[in-house]
Amino acid sequence: MVKLLVVLQNAYGVEDGYIPSYDRASFRNCHTGRRLKEVLPDGIIPEIINSNPKVGDISSSYFKPDIDYVRKRIEEIKPKVILFCGANGKILIEQIGFPNSVHMPHPAYRALTKKMTSDTKEKIKELL
């Protein structure tokens, strides 16, 4: 069982069907990947999905969350805890109602502070 599922917003500037993963240098080295690491408890390698499988062309590309896609992926992955990120995460956390859920701003959010990432990490640890 995957202990932690992270739901991000949507990808941009990558190939169709892109799945974010720390196995990919493109994700490990991007701002989102580096900042997300700050909230991950030691030894936890999350499964990561986007809230919509569509891929945008530029960083401002935005797609509304695809609740059916996210529900299907949750059913496939069967996580213990879900971290919902960003504006889409706020929508999804309410619609899906997964009991062990945490919400945080998007990891690339410019105003994200070390305190916010530390607090999120502690919430995740409590639920694991």
How is the chain classified by DSSP, letter by letter?
--SEEEEES-EESS-TT----TTSHHHHTSHHHHHHHTTSPTT---EEEESSS-EESSTT------HHHHHHHHHHH--SEEEEEHHHHHHHHHHH--SSEEEE--TT-TT--HHHHHHHHHHHHHH-
Which is higher by pLDDT, 40 or 17? 40
Contact 6, 48 (CB under 8 A): yes
Per the structure block, which two tokens stand in for 39? Answer: 């909230």
Q: Which domains does the chain have, with CATH numbers?
A: 4-127 (3.40.470.10)
Which is higher by pLDDT, 81 or 9? 81
Q: For the beta carbon of residue 21, count every other beta carbon within 10 angstroms.
A: 15
29 pLDDT above the threshold of 70: yes
1 pLDDT above the threshold of 70: no
| 13 band by pLDDT with thresholds 50, 70 and 90 | low
Q: For the beta carbon of residue 9, count every other beta carbon within 10 angstroms.
A: 22
